[in-house]
Chains A and B, each alone.
Chain A
């Protein structure tokens, strides 16, 4: 049997949601292919199967454009985790999450978990900027420019803004994200005390440098898989007889059709 991931059925679904151009595809790309490359605006959606231990996790990359907005709730149907992505340099991208995308998650599993992810942290955060995971083969021009400035500078300046020489003010603080997470829980009617804490579920990442990207996905898988396994076990235990009955019934019908 070929070991292609494409042949296997996913065990669990994770969906990336967020406004256009916040970097959903880049995040997924960074995680799955370990590099950052130019992407074009996603059309419709795409998905990737990730082998996590013995399980297959399907990660759906959705289109952020308004045009495809209607498809979101279909992608979210049955999702075990949703990654709500915004751009730290763009306040509107966080606002959009609340206005447009949160309602799409109504179709997700009732115990679905939510992560709030601020991408492009390399533009505002020295730590994220310097966290060059792997030397990037296809550096863009602007990045080359940035590194030039950096190497000319004997000591790393305190603010990444001055590294870049381009102003990218951080428009969304971590506190904003934490507050938004709180509102998600309220929207879902979950109890803040029993839900996963906001500190654990809010991430700032950089798909460009790889900062925090693995941490994000791996944390989610670790949170999602146990619950999925539990559920699967419960189903198996309670539904063994039912499944058998169904299968037998189906078989009989099939035979009777033949004759």
Chain B
């Protein structure tokens, strides 16, 4: 509970007031600047000068100097005292009489002729600290009378007191406070607000003033503090509403005052101090025989029956630090925020930030990370303050030093955790999340290196998955500081990345190569080799590629060739010359083959040398497979297929050169046939296919692919050639029985060819070449198709003819429409030659658009063989 918000400092001791006179008590006090007036029960007013002294240790003391004391001459206690400093008057209530005395001399002010300077029958009075009347040389005073149920408003001048207003109240009032037009009154059974100008009344709440002494204390503009049932201090504004939650006093409060942000209350034996911000009791001071507690111009003064004390508020910062020292973070923050109004903005922000940071560290120490983070964020904490708690995280080169005075009590994390590894781990996890969040914000401006380095170290140590993300993104990790750290935690792959980030690609690659060669252990990337290859394929540094590709090619040429094949083409600088690559790959046959395949098949580079080179490589491979024994049939056929494919598809390689290479190889007849095909030497090609290989399917396929981009005549020619090859009996030079068997096969092939590709042949030519003995049945599909094709062709051409004809007519029509005016023919019009009317639409148009009967025109042609110029008459059209 306890905060030290105030200190009680003696101001006027008993000796100075009444000495050892036991029955003399203090009744009332007034303080005005340095002047302290004390009214006693023996009708004296004492006047002191109060000096504030600060000792060498910074302790505040008060020295009271007695100036004067004066007997008021009424033998009754001085009940109340109020200073009107502008008038240099003290307003005194004694024996039910209000009168004025001079502030300096304490002499009674005689009444002048204008009016009395006394008011009689007064129980209590109050001064309006916020008067509506603007006259600075008079003071507004609210007065409660002894017997009447009224409140009187007086104006107090230097030498007179003038009644200006009187308002009646529903019950006898017993306490009053005044602000503007608003009277806040304690009546016998309730509190109320009364506007003396409009006389509008507003009940507040019931209160038995006879049972307990009411308190009506103006605390701010139009706001009052009232003693409420149950020992509450209630706040009420002029509208009759409560805008602050009540504070919980004891039942017997005598006096109360507000010294923001505290409500100070006095009861029989204690001074209690509550915060207005959270309504909590903050401090209790033991104080016996308490009698008066009042605030004067912000200074709270308490008096017992015998002595006067000043309640000196402790500096706000000290209070806040006290709260923080006892880990009362929330209260400290509330107090700080509450003080905002009373501190200049600049200064406040500095204070507030620091408090937030301290609060954050306290919560951090309690592992309340969510709250801590929030406070760090709001307090704009220099992240390094937090990082510096963790040993070794800040780079050695960091210029950071902790702020002084320190924001927290921890030496480092170990001190904080007291050896609890669980705690250390939690703190580290927190730092990871915190740094991850702030590293991309402006919070880390100026210390990015420190933050990123710390984060990298944490990631490495905690084996955190984001380590690689950090290095893959834009980062400011310090190389020198991180290298030993990453090595310590065997994060070699990450170390490579770090080198890469720092532009040291050779070092990065060397690091990775050592891992890939199992010289160093780091299982971060099982596919490290592929990663290296990928890295090399994407680097712009060509020298780097030449330097490290050899290693990769030795390790795995098939994958390593990706270094060259996956390079993006087009960037002039990083572009590698294919010839250079081929030269480089000369010693790595396998890779070279793959590279050439890439050039030819994927990049489709139309260069003779690449195509030839690839074909030669294929061929060599086939040769080498052929020379093996036993031959691996599967591999061989695959290799041959590749070779054949290239030979078929490409038109760029040097055919003769290849042909020469395989001239003597009887196993590669198909390839040779293909090469002959490329040379347009179809005879030779087909001869090989049909007679040597007896591979009719290939022969047919050959015809199809060779003619695939040629016109139909070429195709027909080729198929006829094949057919001829099938039917040519002379070509075989084998034994008689073989011939017989052979020719049968060839004939069957011919029949199949005809029946399959009938539409490609010229049927007439075919029928001429076919042997006589073939049955119709055998060729039925071919003939049927041939007839259908011929029919189809004929009909198609008829349609085409018809269409062309109609198109011609259409065009003619369009032309007429464009060039000639319409020629009207009707039954009502006559023929220009015979002058009879027309009976049917068939007419002949003479030049000039004159319609005449057909027969008339014929007649005329017959009659006059010589052309006669017709008169051009427009009236007949």
Contacts and interface: CB of A to CB of B under 8 A. Distances in A.
A1 B348 CA distance: 9
Contacts of B337: 2, 4, 6-7
Contacts of A44: 228, 230, 232, 234, 245-248
Contact of B334 (A4, A45, A65, A257): A4
B352 A2 contact: yes
Interface stretch (B201-209, B288-296, B441-449): B201-209
A240 interface: no
A256 interface: yes
Nearest to B248: A43
Contacts of A259: 136
Interface in A62-98: 63, 65, 67-68, 70-71, 73-75, 77-78
Contacts of A256: 134
Nearest to B242: A74
Contacts of A67: 229-230
Contact of A74 (B132, B204, B277): B204
A75 B230 contact: no
Q: Name B's interface SS.
A: mixed
A78 B239 contact: yes
A192 B412 CA distance: 68
Given A4-B334, A70-B205, A70-B229, A47 B136 contact: no
A72 to B, nearest CB: 8
Contacts of A4: 333-334, 337
B803 interface: no
A71 B239 contact: no
B334 A43 contact: no
A259 B244 CA distance: 35
B134 A253 contact: yes
Given A2-B337, A3-B378, A70 B206 contact: yes
Interface string B614-657: 00000000000000000000000000000000000000000000
A60 B240 CA distance: 15
A6 B338 contact: yes
A77 B239 contact: yes
A223 interface: no
B226 to A, nearest CB: 10
Given A6-B337, A43-B248, A71 B136 contact: no
A46 B236 CA distance: 14
Contacts of B378: 2-3
Contacts of B232: 43-44, 68, 71
B241 interface: yes
Contact of B229 (A68, A78, A258): A68
Contacts of B574: none
Most buried by B among A2, A3, A77: A2
Chain A CB count within 10 A is highest, among B205, B334, B378, for: B205
Given A43-B230, A43-B232, A74 B245 contact: no
A236 B228 CA distance: 36
Contacts of A68: 228-230, 232
Contacts of B248: 43-44
A3 B379 CA distance: 12
Nearest to A63: B230
B205 A7 contact: no
A144 B346 CA distance: 52
Contacts of B334: 4, 6
A100 to B, nearest CB: 13
A28 to B, nearest CB: 12
B321 interface: no
A90 B682 CA distance: 110
Chain B interface bracket (under 10, 10 to 19, 20 to 34, 35 or more):
20 to 34
Contacts of A74: 204-205, 234, 236, 240-242
B380 interface: no
Nearest to A252: B134
B826 to A, nearest CB: 84
Nearest to A79: B241
Contacts of B708: none
Contacts of A7: 337, 340
Interface string B721-732: 000000000000
B743 interface: no
A47 B244 CA distance: 8
Interface string A12-54: 0000000000000000000000000000000111110000000
**Which of A6, A60, A74 has the most chain B CB within a 10 Å cutoff?**
A74
B283 interface: no
Interface in B305-341: 333-334, 336-338, 340
Contacts of B207: 70
Listed residue (B246, B333, B378) with the most chain A CB atoms within 10 angstroms of its CB:
B246
A172 to B, nearest CB: 28
A69 to B, nearest CB: 9
B150 interface: no
Contacts of A77: 239-242
Interface in A184-198: none
Contacts of A6: 277, 334, 337-338
Nearest to A3: B378
Given A2-B340, A67-B229, A71-B228, A45 B242 contact: yes
Interface string B182-222: 00000000000000000000011111000000000000000
A190 B796 CA distance: 93
B558 interface: no
Interface string A201-244: 00000000000000000000000000000000000000000000
A256 to B, nearest CB: 5
A107 B207 CA distance: 18
Nearest to A72: B205
Contacts of B162: none
B186 to A, nearest CB: 13
B245 to A, nearest CB: 5
B234 A71 contact: yes
Contacts of B152: none
A211 to B, nearest CB: 26
B550 interface: no
Interface in A147-161: none
A259 B137 CA distance: 10
Contact of A45 (B239, B246, B338): B246
Q: Of B230, B279, B338, which is in contact with the most chain A CB atoms at under 10 Å from its CB?
A: B230
Contacts of A60: 245
B172 to A, nearest CB: 19
B78 to A, nearest CB: 30
Interface in B256-299: 277, 279
Contacts of A63: 230
A97 B204 CA distance: 21
A75 B242 contact: yes
A6 to B, nearest CB: 6
A46 B378 CA distance: 27
A73 B245 contact: no
A105 to B, nearest CB: 14
B352 A47 contact: no
Nearest to A47: B245
B456 to A, nearest CB: 33
Interface string B242-254: 1011111000000
Query: Interface centre among A47, A63, A71, A253, by most B CB within 10 Å?
Result: A71
Contact of A71 (B132, B205, B244): B205
A63 B231 CA distance: 13
A131 B841 CA distance: 98
11 contacts: A2-B337, A44-B246, A45-B246, A47-B244, A70-B205, A70-B228, A71-B234, A74-B240, A77-B240, A77-B242, A256-B134
Given A44-B245, A68-B230, A253-B134, 6 more contacts: A7-B337, A7-B340, A46-B245, A71-B228, A74-B236, A78-B239
Interface of B: 132, 134, 136, 203-207, 228-230, 232, 234, 236, 239-242, 244-248, 277, 279, 333-334, 336-338, 340, 352, 378
A-B pairs, 4 with minimum CB distance: A44-B246, A4-B337, A70-B206, A77-B241
